[in-house]
Chain A
């Protein structure tokens, strides 16, 4: 059975701090890993990673995949209160189109 584990489960930081969120996976036939941000409603897409070692970047957010270690990290620099959310990691296998989600990391950024 596919498994996605995120850590930490929750994190409280101050504005301006840099955070690193972790995601590890056990998937039979890995195809891609996706990061989502969920505030009050449904998740919004952040990144999709398929190749090891290639960093994807969007503003203060960046993410990288390590297929050897079966893991990915999501970095947020110079955090702002608007970054407070649940960050979800999901993986997709080569067959089918379903995603398997991790438990999520609840990030709280205090002023």
Chain B
């Protein structure tokens, strides 16, 4: 299957700082990437859909000014958590849609964010 990487795999930061998470498709071009967050013992919650070359589409209740998404190339999307607070601590996962060939999304390994 297609490979998606995420960096960093974990990060600890102080409250008020910003954190950038990268999501890369390694062996395919992804016109669409998705960002999810997952709290312990809960399912994945879609935060936003990232489209290459255009603005991201955010889900209801997700602050676009707090969670900045940039999809500048066909292989890279970034999520920046601005002015992070302890309640932003979570597991952030990106996925990439391979394209018209399949409906399957392939997930990155996730980033564990802890805000102190």
Instruction: List chain A positions with a Cβ less than 8 A from chain B.
Output: 31-32, 34, 36, 41-45, 48, 50, 88, 92, 96-104, 106
Q: How many residues does chain B have at the interface if contact means C-beta atoms less than 8 Å apart?
A: 22
Q: Of B42, B103, B107, which one neighbours A32 at CB under 8 angstroms?
A: B103
Question: In the assembled complex, which residues on chain A have CB atoms less than 8 Å from the CB atom of B89?
Answer: none
By a beta-carbon cutoff of 8 Å, the part of chain B in contact with chain A is: 1, 6, 32, 34, 41-44, 46, 49, 93, 95, 97, 102-110
Expressed in whole angstroms, the minimum distance between the Cβ of B38 and any Cβ of chain A is 9
A42 and B110 contacting across the interface, CB-CB below 8 Å = yes
Provide the bound-state CA to CA distance between A98 and B95, in Å: 10
CB distance from A44 to the nearest CB of B (A): 7
* CB<8 Å pairs between A and B, sample of 27: A32-B103, A34-B103, A34-B104, A34-B105, A41-B109, A41-B110, A42-B93, A42-B95, A42-B107, A42-B109, A42-B110, A43-B44, A43-B107, A45-B105, A45-B106, A48-B102, A48-B104, A50-B103, A88-B44, A92-B103, A96-B49, A97-B49, A98-B34, A99-B34, A99-B46, A103-B43, A104-B43
Q: Select from chain B the residue with minimum beta-carbon distance to A44.
A: B107
Contacts of B102 in A (CB 8 A): 48
Inter-chain contacts of B105 with A (CB < 8 A):
34, 45, 97, 99
Assess the B41–A106 pair: CB atoms within 8 A: yes
- The docked-state distance in angstroms from the alpha carbon of A98 to that of B1 is 19
